[in-house]
Amino acid sequence: MTAQTYLAFDIGAESGRAMLASFDGGRLSLSELHRFPNGPVRLPDGLHWDILRIWSDVKNAIGMAFRDTESPPASLGIDTWAVDFGLLDRTGALIGNPYHYRDSRTDGMIEEACRRVPRAEIFEQTGIQFLQLNTLYQLLAMVVAQSPALEIAHTFLTIPDLLNYWLTGQKFCEFTNATTTQFYNPRRGDWAWDLLERMGIPKHIFPPIIPPGTNLGKLTPAVREELGISEGRCPQVIAPACHDTGSAVAAVPAVESRFVWISSGTWSVMGTEAPHPIITPDSLRNNFTNEGGVAGTFRFSKNVMGLWLVQECRRTWAQQGEAYSYDELVKMASQAPAFLAVIDPDYPEFFKPGDMPERIRRFCKLTGQPVPEDKGAVVRCALEGIALKYRWVLERLEEMLGYHLEPVYIVGGGTQNRLLSQFTADALRRQVYTGPIEATALGNIMMQMIAMGALHNVAEGRELIRKSFPLSVYEPAQTAGWDEAYDKLCAIMARYPLEAGG
């Protein structure tokens, strides 16, 4: 049979990629068509995304897929990070550049929200963990500031929904991203209208919610004309799991029902699949979240700061004239002493861009521990802290669910950090499978294939991914020292209980 081609856009906080997948009827193959940088842009009014550059790169990649490949894609889909959004006026024009979730305008907004609606009630209505980056607090900041943009807004769209609107003219919010806003009610299956009203957020701006795998139709005539694509060759635009973690988890190549997944990248997200939201006093106390998944599932999970710590260390050292590759930093970390100091990666000071090595050293001083001076020690401290926090999350998961979870699947770009993968196996004392690296793009493609009729369901898609992409396996090895380090982390968390935004 002729191979069928699909185009997936996976746009993250550091970069975006356009990935081409080819399905020959038995296996998938994946290749990178276009990569482009992405990151914050600071303006006098705060930290923003350069959404017009992102849009330009999306269009350029679609043009490349039709101009430079033998088999143009039958469909395309976009996934991005969550929580950020654009506002449209009544004519459909974008009102300003979307803000970046690390902008400081949300400082203090969790407290302001809880003055308007009790914390327990917010969680009862949404089941979402309290992070100051959540869309709820971004919009509340606009309410408090009496933002003119909010006054003239006609439509709210999350970032992938905005790009889908520009591609197709369709104004919808896709389910997996809508659930991350902290104003979606998973029990009612709709926006949390009462919560929005009590926060003073205008309710008329929110469009209908669609499930992952929805076919949005073809490119608009204007986009087709700009890119030189005839209507007969025009791809279908599918809304996959538009939240990148939703797509990544869809692609976890698990065969077990009670497994743990970690989507590892700038952020780590760790959890398990559940058939319904788990909204209990314990999940509120532990600040876990219930985000929408594919095929009617929910991702019961928790965010961990992740490789952002190492990324910021690398950026800081590069600014100081010392540029290192990630491989070089990991090698230095592997040679540094183990357990010199223990950090909580979710400590609030680690959340915003800045001098991360100095912040890690300050945290160690604050908590009365030895201070990592050289670069390898700083990176090892960060990686050990991430693995130890994974253990804390796993223990809370098993406590709340009442059963054992194994094995652990790590997907995403963070799987390339083999040292962190081994630390995870050692700290958790669990077998760890890593791969595929491009899980997010593959989950995106899998949902396109289901929408286009090439696959029947998620189980069939996961089997295809297992068959097409090899996994690496890590067994617990050097477990000595992890228990003592974990006890230190728990003591630190008890003394300094705040999380970033929580």
Residue carrying structure tokens 């299956």? 189
Closest CA to 499 of 344, 284, 341: 344
432-434 and 408-411 beta bridge pairing:
parallel
**At residue 46, what are phi and psi to the nearest 5 degrees?**
140, -165
| DSSP H stretches of helix in 87-147 | 109-116, 119-126, 135-144
Residue 243's DSSP bridge partners are: 80
Return the number of other C-beta atoms located less than 10 Å from residue 486's C-beta: 18
What is the strand order of the sheet 408-411 is part of? Answer: 289-292, 298-304, 268-274, 260-264, 408-411, 432-434, 472-474
Return the number of other C-beta atoms located less than 10 Å from residue 328's C-beta: 14
> How many C-alpha atoms does 308 have within 13 Å on its Cβ side?
22
Residues 6+ apart with CB under 8 A from 432: 407, 408, 409, 410, 421, 424, 425, 473, 474
Closest CA to 441 of 285, 156, 189, 251: 251
Closest CA to 101 of 140, 132, 126, 122: 132
Which of 57, 84, 161, 244 is flagged as catalytic?
A: 244
Q: Residue 47 is which amino acid? A: L
Residue 282 a catalytic site member: no
CB 351 within 8 A of CB 305: yes
| Active centre residues (catalytic) | 244
